[in-house]
Structure 1
């Protein structure tokens, strides 16, 4: 099995998927860093101060103005009210939720990228892991080896898990090193609040407590890794079912993007919570952000993603071991 996994990792490297993902991170993270820097500068210029309290107070005022707009849907108004309560809690306890520094950038990046950016990178690596064998005509050569099909597929899946883990690690490393050039490399021990809960539209703070930022980052990227692994597993199944690499990647890209958009466009549709791609924002539960679809929490989303992953694996192994792939 080790030699099989090694062989699959060599294939991934030769197909340059990992290098493409690394290049994307090296190009886009500096752009995100510069964008955040410019946003901070513009806010300071508009308010005439760099005091984070003034910035947070202005954000609260802006959200209160959105509440008064008749164009804002009721679902979004409930979401905004909870955000205001949480920001007010930060103000009351004199804690800056966005203290400058590379660790803060890495933390915020995980929270913003977990629903779309990171899953898209996973699709780039995973969508053709099996279908490319058909497209390239190497599937016949692969199956002539005296190894059972389920072992071959298991090796591919284990290699995919390693690649996803490597991608998450590269995201942390490149984000920290590149953003630190502008924001500085300190701030690992800054306090971060967790434990916010919502009930009937009210923010509950009974379980709120402080943890160091490095621990929060580990927890955030652990949840992001789980989301990425779920996307990779579903992509793995699609790659088995669809023999065309282009079709496999197109299906997954459409599914990931649609899942992200549906949560924004149809928050009142309760059945959305049973779809895998609307449960990817696991870091929102850690940050205490309110969810738009009622009935969703961390345990629910973890369960939904786990069920989708297990079903996808079962389908992938059943099809690969029984289908005549030599045809």
Structure 2
């Protein structure tokens, strides 16, 4: 354990300037956004009247009912041969019906609901993976191409300990930055109140449940952690086998970002695509039925965990059996 902690500290020393640069940049943007929001909404802390709130809730409920009726009409007009489209429409109808029957406002825009919205979508599916590439794409390739890894191999540390420390650093830094971004999102919305953490929100796990918002947030954080570990394992694997700094960054971008963009229009026409790990990176979207493509959450978790173990296993096997070039 002491060797692992020492290796982890060594990796942190080599990359702390980069991580601190990311954190400081995020804080600068946060301060800028916060100042802009306060200047553009100087009366944000004055609560609106209860009457307007009631009308707002009534309008929101009516919009949900109207949307469910629209989906029902679309479902009835969809040919029976289009099984995928009918399945998606049926799930959406059940989703809206659950909100109506359980009096859960689907269109609420409280602080906690904005936090939940930030846990899924473009940020976690595209932007944050690019940030992880920036953190760890050179975790092996930079040292291998420059020859500085030789000094590390002279230390009495097992090679798999070095591997574990490198992956752990990428994961810890990525999780820290992700949590900070969520905190900034929450604080940017705090002018609307602290949010109702004990209020009910719908959660899809095969069956739709009404759970407290705090439980949904914890589930979302746990699922995002699985996604981060999978991306980190892929990046470390590419960095080790490519062994060239510039090329490893390019290959990481192709494997994680570009391939997903190119395959997006064909997500239902290429069956094998369902096993591409980036298709499943937005696990939280399963909880609110916004997941794009086929497959359940169980399949997504299996794909991500399998990707993690395969990438880790490949590097672990080679780093133990072969001499590293330097």
Q: TM-score category by the smaller chain?
A: 0.7 to 0.9
Q: Which moved more, 1:161-170 or 1:235-244?
A: 161-170
1:111-146 CA-to-partner distances (Å, cap 9, x unmatched) read: 223322332222221222111213444222322333
Deviations 1:194-247 (A, max 9, x none): 2453xxxxxxxxx43321101100101110111111011111101111122222
Matched, 1:302 2:301: yes
Q: Distance in 2 between matches of 1:114 and 1:85?
A: 26
Paired with 2:271 and 2:324, the residues of 1 have a C-alpha distance of 40
Number of residue pairs the alignment of both structures matches: 299
* Structure 2 contact 92–289 (Cα < 8 Å) conserved: no
Aligned to 2:50: none
- Are 1:191 and 2:200 an aligned pair? yes
Please point out which of 81, 105, 110 is paired with 1:101: 110
Instruction: Give 3-state SS (helix, strand or coil) of 2:109's partner.
Output: coil
* Compared CA separation, residues 30 and 5, structure 1 to 2 (3 A): same
Unaligned runs of 5+ in 2: 41-54
Q: Secondary structure at the match of 1:11?
A: helix
Partner residue in 1 for 2:213:
213
- 1:308 to 1:196, Cα distance in 2 relative to 1, 3 A: closer
The answer to whether 1:151 aligns with 2:152 is no
| Residue in 2 that maps onto 1:279 | 280
What SS does the aligned partner of 2:282 have? Answer: coil
Q: In the alignment, is residue 161 of structure 1 matched against residue 171 of structure 2?
A: yes
> Alignment partner of 1:194: what SS?
strand
Q: Does the CA contact (< 8 Å) of 1:168 and 1:225 recur in 2?
A: no
TM-score normalised over the length of structure 2: 0.78
In 2, the alpha carbon distance for the partners of 1:241 and 1:306 equals 20
Q: Provide the residue aligned with 1:179 in structure 2.
A: 189
Deviations along 1:264-284, one digit per CA (max 9) or x if unpaired, are 533232212222111212213
Distance in 2 between residues matched to 1:100 and 1:245, nearest whole Å: 44
- Per the alignment, residue 5 of structure 1 pairs with 8
SS in 1 for 2:139: coil
Q: Offset of 1:155 from its aligned partner? A: 1.9
Corresponding position of 2:317 = 318
Max Rg structure: 2
CA distance in 1, matches of 2:27, 2:21: 10
Provide the alpha-carbon RMSD of the alignment.
3.3
Q: Secondary structure at the match of 1:210?
A: strand
> TM-score, normalising length from structure 1?
0.78
Gap runs ≥5 in structure 1 = 38-48, 198-206
Counterparts in 2 of 1:195 and 1:69: CA distance versus 1, 3 Å: closer
The residue aligned with 1:245 is: 245
2-side partners of 1:154 and 1:266: how far apart?
A: 34
How far off its partner does 1:13 sit? 0.7
